Amino acid sequence: MTASRPLAVPDAWPACSLEDASALLCAPGAKFEIDTLSIRGIPTRVWKQALPSLAALVAVGRSHGPAEFLVYEDERATFDEWHRAVAALAGALRARGVGKGDRVALAMRNLPEWPVAFFAVTILGAICVPLNAWWTGPELAYGLSDSGASVLIADAERLARILPHRDDLPAWRHMIASRVEEARPAGVERLEALIGATADWGQLPDAELPVADLSPDDHATIFYTSGTTGQPKGALGTHRNLITNIYSASFAAARAALRRGEAPPEPEPKTILLAIPLFHVTACSATLMGAVAAGHKLVFMHRWDTLRALALIEREKVNATGGVPTIAWQLIEHPERERFDLSSLELISYGGAPSAPELVRKVHELFGALPGNGWGMTETMATVTSHSAEDYLNRPDSCGPPVPVADLRIMDPDGERELPVGAVGELWARGPMVVAGYWGKPDATAATFVDGWVRTGDLARLDPEGFCFIVDRAKDMVIRGGENIYSSEVENALYEHPAVTDAAVIGRPHRTLGEEPVAVVHLAPGAEAGEEELRAFVRDRLAAFKVPVRILFLDDHLPRNANGKILKKDLAPLFAAT
């Protein structure tokens, strides 16, 4: 069952230009008033009314009191119970010597105690290091060593992976483990001994948070890049970075309403199925921060399972979900989708990976939900641009315009010259969401962060109104005989075919041309399409030199990392024997 909501573009749309919307929403005294401050010596526009720190955000979260906040399997916790657990764990960490600047690693799947640990660490002025829960033992050990974490908070599964490397990590002082047996390794404390199980949090004292001297630009997090090439780098985030996302998302919703000719909506608690891991900035920064501020309920899953997600949407009356395009596609194509009541869905949003324009239409047609998209990266602590509703319908291949505290520009390959509107070049971004640099890597920091701008490595263009179009990752562009082939352009052509739900284009070495394009696709269940049919389909839409010379088919969705990015390096071996 689905609900129908209008998504056709109104005749008088847009009722308000982007410039007029920003002028109205950001006027002096308005909620989204903008100020200019010096951040790391660079004049930077910021949200003037933004909260000063994550401690202030936790205090706002406490005000939601008895409202449900966290749901996991049969476990539930209110905002009041979560706040009690945060205060208790923060006090325990302080008693163990954790203070400002200390790194505390957090390695666990999405569990109710994840948001407890994250805020308990950061309100002390310590730096939380969320580690990729998909990493192997050696990869986790790398993150612990690279960050210099002295405390580890982990679930049982991650602890088991890390313990064999314990002797290689001399900086460790304390290990705290969640959901481990009473008989545990020596030196490992049970998290439940400090705060109890989820059901016990309501019995904890209603204590005040430990007081720490915090400022907006103090360091708060180290999120590791996805590491699709080379070793992951730790992006050093600040309290301001994380808080900025709350106001950016709220501004985007208000701007979309004005564009439609409506008054901006008042904040209203929603239920969100969080289907992506919290160690990713899209989940932590762009979702968790806003949930604490607005009083949203977050529903966690042990692991992503499409059928289970459909059941949870019905059971919990979920209003919003998404994360990466793959999740939306899997919900769309599941053969049992129609037997669930999905009428509560209002928004399916995604970022972190390119999405096909066809996905915009399907989200609304099949779910009655509005689609949402945006662009950001680990180095920008998520949101820089935001795209939804009619704007998204009109420009389904765009990731939207930047929020007004951010700037975008398109630069030539050498980074010396800004390119004109419409030209394709490297996307640079700046604003209060850009992180302070890479932890312990001054050379990489200097190469990527330039006078407040972050060099993204994305190839993009801007249209006259400022809407951004990501064309490709610079490293993913295929150069055939001197001609540039943007993989996303070919992928979008493949996505237009009704049988294709997942696609990736890579370059295969060629003796005379240098490279030639090849593709890997996944078809919808029950759909059929052959290689020559798809090649002809692309040929009807693009120049002949862009047509993949080979197309291989996978029975499952293409391999992705935890951030939703297709692992294109894993696709090349598929063509070795072809």
**Could you list the pLDDT tens digit for every one of the 578 residues in the chain?**
444 444 455 567 799 999 999 999 999 999 999 999 999 999 999 999 999 999 999 999 999 999 999 999 999 999 999 999 999 999 999 999 999 999 999 999 999 999 999 999 999 999 999 998 988 898 899 999 999 999 999 999 999 999 999 888 888 889 999 999 877 788 899 999 999 999 999 999 999 999 999 999 999 999 998 654 467 899 999 999 999 999 999 999 999 999 989 999 888 999 999 998 999 999 999 999 999 999 999 999 998 899 999 999 999 999 999 877 778 888 888 889 999 999 999 988 876 555 666 777 788 788 888 888 889 999 999 899 998 888 888 888 899 999 999 999 999 988 999 999 999 999 999 999 999 999 999 999 999 999 999 999 888 999 999 999 988 777 787 878 767 787 888 998 899 899 998 899 998 888 767 789 999 999 988 889 999 999 999 998 887 889 999 999 999 888 887 667 788 888 988 887 66
Burial 234-256 (b: 16+ CB within 10 A, else e): bbbbbbbbbbbbbbbbbbbbbbb
Evaluated on CA atoms 407, 287, 18, 471, the torsion sign reads positive
Q: What is the pLDDT of residue 8?
A: 53
Predicted confidence (pLDDT) per residue in 200-256, tens digit:
999 999 999 999 999 999 999 999 986 544 678 999 999 999 999 999 999 999 999
Neighbours of 180 (CB within 10 A): 20
Q: What one-letter code names the amino acid at 191?
A: L
Is the previous residue joined to 573 through a cis bond, with omega within 30 degrees of 0?
A: no
Q: What span, in angstroms and rounded, lies between the C-alpha atoms of 279 and 263? A: 35
The secondary structure of residue 287, as a DSSP letter, is I
Task: Report all structural domains of the chain as residue ranges with CATH numbers, in order of start.
Answer: 18-50+238-407 (3.40.50.12780), 54-214 (3.40.50.980), 477-575 (3.30.300.30)
What is the phi/psi pair of residue 213, to 5°?
-85, 100
* SS3 sequence of 365-420: HHHCCEEEEEEEEHHHCEEEEEEEHHHHHHCCCCCECECCCCEEEEECCCCCCECC
Which CA distances in Å does 449 have to 128, 182, 410, 437?
Answer: 22, 47, 15, 7
- Nearest to 279, CA basis, from 334, 355, 226: 226
- Nearest to 153, CA basis, from 81, 211, 98, 73: 98
Evaluated on CA atoms 343, 326, 320, 76, the torsion sign reads positive
Query: Do 371 and 349 meet the contact criterion of CB atoms below 8 Å apart?
Result: yes
What is the value of pTM for the model shown?
A: 0.86
Q: What is the pLDDT of residue 91?
A: 98
Q: What span, in angstroms and rounded, lies between the C-alpha atoms of 108 and 154? A: 5
